[in-house]
Amino acid sequence: MSVKATMRCAVVREHGGVDRIAIEERPVPDPGPGRVRIAVKAIGVNHLDLWVRRGVAGHTFPLPLILGCDFAGVVDAVGDGVANAKVGDEIAVAPGFSCGTCAHCLAGDDNLCPRYGIFGETADGGCAEYAVIPAANVLPKPTGMSFEEAAAFPLVFLTAWHMLVARCHVRPGETVLVHAAGSGVGSAAVQVAKLWGATVIATASSDAKLGLARKLGADHLINYREKDFAREVRAMTNKRGVDIVFEHTGEATFQGSVRSLTRGGRLVTCGATSGHDGQFDLRMLFFKNLSFLGSTMGRRTELFDVIRHMAAGSLRPVIDRVMPLDQVRDAHTVLENREQFGKVILVP
């Protein structure tokens, strides 16, 4: 297979607006022992990319950095000692990596590894024509799935699955409130909750997005720009509240999310896109026996559960639009303006 000497990639060298993203030429990397090189065919854009580009107070990113934690493609070279991939394999990529030797990794909790990292955040990612990854991060692309779809599911479905299944132990018959159902992780959460037999109340910023959430299986819909979602939840549940709140927006919704919980309810959160100052009445925590759960990423093995359901058709990636790599700045703007439903995908 003929490989170019250089590749195009989307790089952030300093934090700031979308103008801080540059398309650069770099040498095509060679895979070392235990590593695999991919000819990238599609890249998923996530809010994580926005945080890396903007910067986070108190956190240092290893700039310059190639963006992109979600990507898929074709294996075009393998390093020594690789047994689970060969040239020509069509693959998706597990977006998180770990040391593989600590107690957490050996217990299968690789997302708790002290050296856990994410492509495009702690190491160069896949927003490029080629990328090199550890062989352990190779995922089989389900038969019949496009490269665009394979780049759309890993991060958001891993996150949603871990939050609902591993952290909250969602059960059939429970009611789950999913915020921002039009986001990548929100659209995944609606599907995972329905897969496990839950009733889903979905919020979104427009009726159009709510209509798409309905097609994913949402049972009840709330336009949070027009209505007080906590009040609507109480009305929909006959004042009982929900068993689980799927949080990832943070400050703007947190107080209402706590109010929406039933006695013994669980709130699980993976993000704070609207701000990190979550205010609530502490008395509700103990009077109502609530549980607040944090969650980041998930166990790599959970991605194989997701892939099995993808192959069976019970879960599916949600793609809003596909854009060329050169339009990566525009892709970031789409996410910042919340114009999408599901994932924005880039193609080299």
Give pLDDT tens digits for 266-300. 999 998 888 888 888 899 999 999 999 999 999 99
* Secondary structure (DSSP) of 80-120: TT--S--TT-EEEE-SEE--S-SHHHHTT-GGG-TT-EEBT
Q: How many domains does the chain have?
A: 2
Question: Cα-flanking dihedrals φ and ψ of residue 258, to 5°?
Answer: -65, -40
Indicate whether 311 belongs to any domain: no
Indicate whether 114 belongs to any domain: yes
pTM of the model: 0.95
Amino acid at 289: N
Residue 77 near residue 87, CB atoms below 8 Å: yes
Distance CA 84, CA 136 (A): 8
User: Are 128 and 240 part of one and the same domain?
Assistant: no
User: Are 173 and 66 part of one and the same domain?
Assistant: no
pLDDT of 276? 86
Burial label for 238, CB within 10 Å (0-12, 13-18, 19+), is: exposed
Indicate whether 307 belongs to any domain: no
Residue 273 near residue 56, CB atoms below 8 Å: no
Burial label for 208, CB within 10 Å (0-12, 13-18, 19+), is: exposed
User: Are 165 and 282 part of one and the same domain?
Assistant: yes
Instruction: Please list the ranges in the chain whose pLDDT falls under 70.
Output: 1-2
pLDDT of 227? 96
Burial label for 279, CB within 10 Å (0-12, 13-18, 19+), is: exposed
Indicate whether 124 belongs to any domain: yes
Distance CA 119, CA 158 (A): 14
Indicate whether 81 belongs to any domain: yes
pLDDT of 281? 87
pLDDT of 344? 98
Give 258-262's long-range contacts (Cβ < 8 A, gap of 24+). 258/284, 258/285, 258/290, 259/230, 259/284, 260/177, 260/229, 260/230, 260/233, 260/234, 261/288, 261/290, 262/237, 262/288
Indicate whether 312 belongs to any domain: no
User: Are 283 and 219 part of one and the same domain?
Assistant: yes
CATH of the domain at 225: 3.90.180.10
- The two three-digit tokens of residue 89, written as one number: 């394999």
How far from chain centre, in Å, is Cα 234?
29
User: Are 12 and 101 part of one and the same domain?
Assistant: yes
User: Are 14 and 137 part of one and the same domain?
Assistant: yes
Residue 102 near residue 113, CB atoms below 8 Å: yes
**DSSP run (H or E) holding 255:** helix 254-260
* Domain region containing 278: 157-294
Cβ neighbours of 61 (radius 10 Å): 16
Indicate whether 19 belongs to any domain: yes
User: Are 192 and 147 part of one and the same domain?
Assistant: no
User: Are 91 and 177 part of one and the same domain?
Assistant: no
pLDDT of 2? 61
Residue 100 near residue 151, CB atoms below 8 Å: no
- Which residues fall within 8 angstroms of residue 305, CB to CB, at 6 or more apart? 161
Distance CA 233, CA 224 (A): 11
User: Are 166 and 206 part of one and the same domain?
Assistant: yes
User: Are 343 and 321 part of one and the same domain?
Assistant: yes
Indicate whether 67 belongs to any domain: yes
User: Are 76 and 196 part of one and the same domain?
Assistant: no
User: Are 22 and 95 part of one and the same domain?
Assistant: yes
* 67-95: burial string, b at 16+ Cβ within 10 Å, e else: bbbbbbbbbbbbbeebeebeeebbbbbbb
